[in-house]
Amino acid sequence: MRQVIKGNHAVSHGVRLSKVKVISAYPITPQTTIVEELSEMCASGALDAKFIKVESEHSALAALIGSATAGVRSFTATSSQGLLLMHEVLHWVCGARLPIVLANVNRAVGAGWNIWADQTDSISQRDTGWIQIYCESNQEVLDSVIMAYKLAEKLMLPVMVSYDAFFLSHTSEVVDIPDQDTVDQFLPPFEPPHKVDFADPRMFGGMIGPEIYYEERYCIHKDAMAAIKTYSEICQQFQEAFGREYALAESYMVDDAEIIVVTAGTITSVARIAVRKAREKGIKLGLMKLRLFRPVPYELWRGILGGVNKVVVIDRNLIGGVGGAFVSEIRSALFPLEKRPVVYSAIAGLGGRDVTPADVLGIVEHVASGKADVDTPIFWGLKE
């Protein structure tokens, strides 16, 4: 059924269709309408779930340690400071191998207060062991939540679905909401290998010494890396069931490209327009959209980017003392190649500042002109 809905509501529908059993959340702008709609769904009976209305984001995720260990499908949503407050629990959930799905609305972090789009929040949690997926449209948000549960439960690892504040969270788009039967066939009920069980009383998350901790961490890494293959299969199965195509990273007009611009989130839609405009001007531009960011799909990135002369990565985040986060990951992915493109960095759209097709085109023209310095990010649109 096609409906015009906001990104946050796309999440709520994804959660409803995934038949989540326990939700625990704390309100934060711009995530709030997710939990409002889920509260409505629980109240009306459209969703048969327990909703724990906790006193903080830290507790929101900590409650799910309990529910997921009890063996039921669990969900939370947050943004910005809320995600940062969860940091300790994000690590714990990964170590405990709990397949929790978290929707994060990408919002800037303080100080000072800024509620608008910026990817610093989830970027800063990239080393917690959570699988991370970045979305470009409301349809992708809904579909990604359903796929996230399939991935999480297959690998027993948590998944974070991220999308830009306001540009998606509060913007209405046409979304095809799948029917329950098709989702049920795609996503069977959650059957964890271990759970709280009185016939077989086990201890979860206890002390492990130096003789085994390393191996436990290695297993997390091994299974996280397996997400590359598993998620490819899930995308294929999703396409067969729902007719929509997703990949770990997506490319647009890259076959004959000499320059590729790399984006994550909503800047991607803008960059598509820029690609067409650049080609009108004779610049052979292509686009790579990052979707799966953790684990890093090295081979796929190398396959798309390895053959061009120049790559420019647009980061909607800025790490003080480093620069953009995505560009450093792209550079390290391409480094082992014998012949590799020159990778430029551009910073744009911080704290919700608008990024237009003209901005992306401007960045690309700057790179194409040979004037860009590879050692310094292009601080696009920075006021003097």
Partner 1 sequence: MQRFINLSEEMRKGPDLVTPGLLSCQGCGTALAMKLALKGLGERTVVVIPACCWSIIIGTYPHSTLNVPVVHVPFETAAVAASGVRAGLDVRGEEDVTVMAWAGDGGTFDIGLQSLSGAAERNEDILYVCYDNEAYMNTGIQRSSATPVGAWTTTTPGGSLKQEPKKDMEGIMLAHGIPYVATASVAYPDDFFEKFKKAKGIKGTRFIHILSPCPPGWRIDSAKSIQVTRMATQCCIFPLYEVEAGITRVTVRPEEVIPVSRYLRSQGRFREMGEDTMELVQVLTEQRWNSLLERETSTK
Part of the chain binding partner 1 (CB under 8 A), chosen from 131-139, 201-209, 243-251, 270-278: 201-209
Part of the chain binding partner 1 (CB under 8 A), chosen from 53-61, 137-145, 235-243, 264-272: 53-61
The nearest distance, CB 92 to partner 1, in angstroms, is: 5
* Tokens describing residue 167: 């540009």
Part of the chain binding partner 1 (CB under 8 A), chosen from 59-67, 149-157, 254-262, 327-335: 59-67
Q: Does 66 bind partner 1 (CB under 8 A)?
A: yes
- In DSSP terms, which residues pair with 31 in a beta bridge? none
* Tokens describing residue 378: 């292009």
Angle between helices 7-17 and 138-155 (to 10 degrees): 40
Question: What is the C-alpha to C-alpha distance for residues 202 and 141, in angstroms, rounded to an integer?
Answer: 36
Cα torsion angle, 84, 130, 65, 146, sign: positive
Taking the least distance from each CB to partner 1, the nearer of 57 and 250 is 57
Candidates 46, 70, 225, 273: give the one binding partner 1 (CB under 8 A). 70
Cα torsion angle, 372, 375, 380, 383, sign: negative
Taking the least distance from each CB to partner 1, the nearer of 50 and 244 is 50
The nearest distance, CB 213 to partner 1, in angstroms, is: 9
Part of the chain binding partner 1 (CB under 8 A), chosen from 63-71, 149-157, 226-234, 326-334: 63-71
- b/e sequence 18-31, b meaning 16+ C-beta within 10 Å: bbbbbbbbbbbbbb
Q: Which is nearest to 107 in space by CA: 130, 74, 127, 77?
A: 77
Instruction: Fill in the DSSP letter of residue 323.
Output: B
Q: Does 214 bind partner 1 (CB under 8 A)?
A: no
Candidates 28, 68, 156, 304: give the one binding partner 1 (CB under 8 A). 68
The nearest distance, CB 189 to partner 1, in angstroms, is: 12
Q: Does 64 bind partner 1 (CB under 8 A)?
A: yes
Candidates 84, 89, 300, 314: give the one binding partner 1 (CB under 8 A). 89
Candidates 72, 84, 103, 290: give the one binding partner 1 (CB under 8 A). 72
Part of the chain binding partner 1 (CB under 8 A), chosen from 51-59, 242-250, 341-349, 366-374: 51-59
Q: Does 184 bind partner 1 (CB under 8 A)?
A: no
Candidates 3, 32, 39, 59: give the one binding partner 1 (CB under 8 A). 59
Contact between 313 and 324 under an 8 Å Cβ cutoff? The reply is yes
The nearest distance, CB 66 to partner 1, in angstroms, is: 3
Question: With contacts defined by CB under 8 A, how many residues of the chain interact with partner 1?
Answer: 40
- Alpha-helical regions (H) of 18-56: 32-44
Contact between 290 and 311 under an 8 Å Cβ cutoff? The reply is no
SS3 assignment, position 263: strand
Q: Which is nearest to 228 in space by CA: 197, 249, 199, 257?
A: 249
SS3 assignment, position 83: helix
Angle between helices 210-242 and 87-95 (to 10 degrees): 90
Taking the least distance from each CB to partner 1, the nearer of 119 and 128 is 128
Q: Does 206 bind partner 1 (CB under 8 A)?
A: yes
Candidates 1, 45, 207, 320: give the one binding partner 1 (CB under 8 A). 207
Part of the chain binding partner 1 (CB under 8 A), chosen from 104-112, 133-141, 203-211, 261-269: 203-211
Q: Does 220 bind partner 1 (CB under 8 A)?
A: no
Candidates 31, 33, 67, 138: give the one binding partner 1 (CB under 8 A). 67
**CA R_g for the chain:** 21
Give every CB contact of residue 43 below 8 A, 6+ residues apart in sequence.
none
Question: What is the C-alpha to C-alpha distance for residues 318 and 62, in angstroms, rounded to an integer?
Answer: 29
- In DSSP terms, which residues pair with 134 in a beta bridge? 162
The length of the chain, given as a count of residues: 384
Q: Does 325 bind partner 1 (CB under 8 A)?
A: no
Backbone dihedral angles phi then psi of residue 100, each to the nearest 5 degrees: -80, 145
Part of the chain binding partner 1 (CB under 8 A), chosen from 18-26, 171-179, 228-236, 265-273: 18-26
Residues forming the site for partner 1 (CB under 8 A): 21-22, 24, 49-50, 52-56, 58-59, 62-72, 74, 88-89, 92, 196-198, 201-209, 212
